[in-house]
Amino acid sequence: MATTKQNQMIAGRMVEFQDRFSFLRNDDAQWLIQNAGEGIDLFMKAIIYHRKTNAQIEILRLIPGGHTFLLNALSGEHLIYQAKETFSSFISKEFLIWSFNKTGIATPETYVQVREMTGGETVWDMFEALPGDWNHRWVSQNQVIEFCENLSPWLSAARYGTFFLIKKDENKIINENDPSQNSVVVFVNVKSDGLGVNVISLGAYDIRDGHHNPRVVSPALWI
C-alpha cells in the first residue's frame, strides 16, 4: 500500500495539474465536486487497468495467426471427469476428490483467445496478466472440453501445456480480492496417446524454466 508520504505527494501533484479539470463539462465538474470519493475510485480503477495492461504486454502475447476462436453455445452438462474420450491419456483424480462433479451453467456462444506466456514465473502471474477482472477470465468445464475437442491444434505441445481458469462452483462469482476461493486452474497436456488433464490450485507452482512457453485460453473481451 502507498505510504502516507506518497499519498501526500500524489495529492500535491494533482493540484499542479488542476488546469486539466477545465476540460470537464460543467455538470461533470459539479458531480465530481459532490462525489469526490467515487471520482477517486474511478481514478484508481484507471491506474489498475493501466498496470494490468502493461503486465499483459510483458507477460503474455497473443499467439500468431487465428488466435481468436468461437465456442458454441453449451448446456454446461458435460464435465471434465466424465470426458474420457476427449482426455484419453489421463484425467486427474482430483476432479472427483475436489468435487468437480456438479453440472455447470449454460453458456452462450463465446469468443476465446489463446495467449502464450513470455514472462513471469507462476500460474498466478499468467492469469493476473489477462485483461479484465477475475470474473472475466474463467471458462466452464464444458467449454474446456469443447476447445479440446474442436480446437486441439491450438493446444500447446510444450511441457507445461495449455491452461484454463474454471470455477469451483459455476453458479457463484469469483471473489476479486481472493480469486482462489472459487477458482482453480485446469491444464491440458498433449501426449502421444492423447490428451491428459490436471487440476491445480491457482497459486500452485512455477511454470517457467526458460525453455517452454505455456499457453492460456480465456474469454475474448474485445475483438
* pLDDT at 128 > cutoff 80: yes
Instruction: Report how far residue 144's alpha carbon sits from residue 219's, in angstroms, rounded to the nearest whole number.
Output: 11
pLDDT of residue 74: 97
pLDDT of residue 114: 95
More confident residue, 175 or 38: 175
pLDDT of residue 219: 96
The burial class, CB within 10 Å (0-12 / 13-18 / 19+), for 166 is: buried
Instruction: Report how far residue 194's alpha carbon sits from residue 191's, in angstroms, rounded to the nearest whole number.
Output: 5
CA distance to 48, 120, 121, 180, 213, per residue, from 51 (Å)? 5, 15, 18, 21, 22
Instruction: Determine the straight-line distance between the first and last CA of the chain, rounded to whole angstroms.
Output: 34
The arithmetic mean of pLDDT across residues 29-39, rounded, is 82
pTM of the complete model: 0.73
| Domains of the chain by residue range | 4-58, 61-219
* pLDDT at 52 > cutoff 60: no
The burial class, CB within 10 Å (0-12 / 13-18 / 19+), for 1 is: exposed
The arithmetic mean of pLDDT across residues 186-190, rounded, is 95
* pLDDT at 86 > cutoff 90: yes
Most confident region among 10-14, 130-134, 142-146 by mean pLDDT: 142-146
Locate the DSSP E strands across the chain.
Answer: 60-62, 68-71, 90-91, 110-117, 162-167, 183-191, 194-200, 215-219
- Averaged pLDDT score across all residues of the chain: 86
* Ramachandran sector of residue 81 (left: φ over 0; alpha: ψ -120 to 50; beta: rest): alpha
pLDDT of residue 210: 47
